[in-house]
Amino acid sequence: MEIITDPFNMSVWTIILIILPILYYIYYRKFRIFIYDQPEKVTKGKTIRGKCPPSYPNGWFWLIDSCDLARGDVKFIQYCGRDVVLFRGYDGKPYVLEAYCSHMGSNLGVGGRIRDINCIECPFHGWIFDGETGTCIFSYDNRKIPRKVDTFKYIDIERCTPYISNDQQSTIYLQKIAENQETKLKKYECREMNGSIFAWYHANEELRNKPLYELFDIKDEINRNNMEVRGESINYVNCHIQEIPENGSDIRHFDFLHESILDSISFIKFKWSLLAESGSTPNLREIMTHSNPNANAYKMHLFDRFLNEDNLHYINTMSLDCSLNLFNKYEIFLFNITGFQIGPSMVYLFLWSPYFKLTFFHTLTPLEKFHQRVVHRIITSTWMPYWLSALLLMGEVKQLYSDLKIWNYKIFSEQLKYNTQNYTDKCLYSYRNWYAQFYDGCYERESKSLYW
């Protein structure tokens, strides 16, 4: 047996054996769950938007990733003109209440702490609110006893006009309007699924905790296809919320904004073909039938899995083909996307390719008027290299930046010039009619709101 006596060779192998695991660890940490967070957080600009629909449509909205809310965590969240406190009780469940204590108005999301498994304690005076009901309680011997209080209100808080008593002996500015009654905070319906926490928003108080539709739970679909979450991108856009998901029904914009792979390469381009229809279209499956048998089988499976009589009215569907065009002569089919937009702010994109499958989950959250947070999550086959899933996510981000340059500087357009003789403008017309259902009652609420 040959014995290595050269100390230099020994050290080289030692260094290699040490460096390789370190390099793989760095690679794993960087690309296993790849996060792109837009470095420049744009805020509301001075672009004149024209007349627009209300800024906050009715529906489900993303609040936070599940991994960012541990047991006992408390977060202050702003969305759709609401200030809420989001917390996870020691029972593992998330709860959403209005943010401000009914005692003196302190923010429960800043300094509040969890008490009695699923209640939150005000950091100012220790009032406790039940996460299940929003009721203010005393906690005694594992029992929740409602706290009863008197309610006072300024007679005229803006002018501070006093009230003069009948005997002319006293001047008061606060008037008792209720006595010895329970007090509670508004509780908002929330769901935890697909690695995220969502809250329901509706302008009508009677529907505040009565969702009109449910979100898709894609966990079984992920497991069925042996897939896993690989990362997400977070971007910020200045525009009306409807402008962003409307892209999914805008066929022609793909030819102008999403044609190039790299700006410096002109002989390789993407070619797109799109169909978009409401989920309630009578012959939807016939319209969406794909020429590729495998792509069509996957599409019909998704229709059967996610569409039902209860949600058809709230869903818009799309089928998007992408091919690679070489030298304007050769065309190679790359993939088909089956897309579902459910409600005003959630889009699920299921990509089928002869080479792989992946899923994108898009969410929109209005932070304030004309200021949207856009999050894209990528879910890929487990066998896919981490660097490749990161590259695919960044490809999606590149396409988003092409749109972002338009969104940030456009008006909404109250009056539109459509050529309804062609399918492309028919899709846009149909989409705007479909989306308008989510504004029911929103104008009245927004006109009373202090948020801008």
Please name which of 348, 361, 366 lies closest in space to residue 242, comparing C-alpha atoms.
366
Calpha distance 446→203 (Å, rounded): 8
Positions of E strands within 44-99: 59-65, 74-79, 82-88, 94-98
Triad 62, 68, 71: Cα angle to 5°: 110
Task: Tell me if 409 sits within 8 A of 21, measured CB to CB.
Answer: no
Count helices and strands (H / E) in the chain.
9, 24
Residue 452: what pLDDT? Answer: 40
Looking up tokens 């981000």 gives: 397
Residue 217: what pLDDT? Answer: 94
Looking up tokens 């943010």 gives: 99
Looking up tokens 């319906």 gives: 189
- Type of residue numbered 416: L
Mean pLDDT for each 10-residue chunk of the chain (452 residues)?
52 70 70 78 66 94 96 96 96 97 96 94 96 89 85 87 70 87 95 96 93 95 93 93 92 80 71 91 95 96 96 96 85 93 97 93 93 95 91 90 91 85 87 95 75 44
List the domains of the chain with CATH numbers: 148-182 (no CATH), 213-443 (3.90.380.10)
pTM for the model: 0.88
pLDDT tens profile 273-295 = 899 999 999 999 999 999 999 99
Report helix angle 7-31 to 386-407, nearest 10: 40
Please name which of 46, 42, 83, 89 lies closest in space to residue 63, comparing C-alpha atoms.
83
Residue 11: partners with Cβ closer than 8 Å, 6 or more residues away = none
Residue 214: what pLDDT? Answer: 95
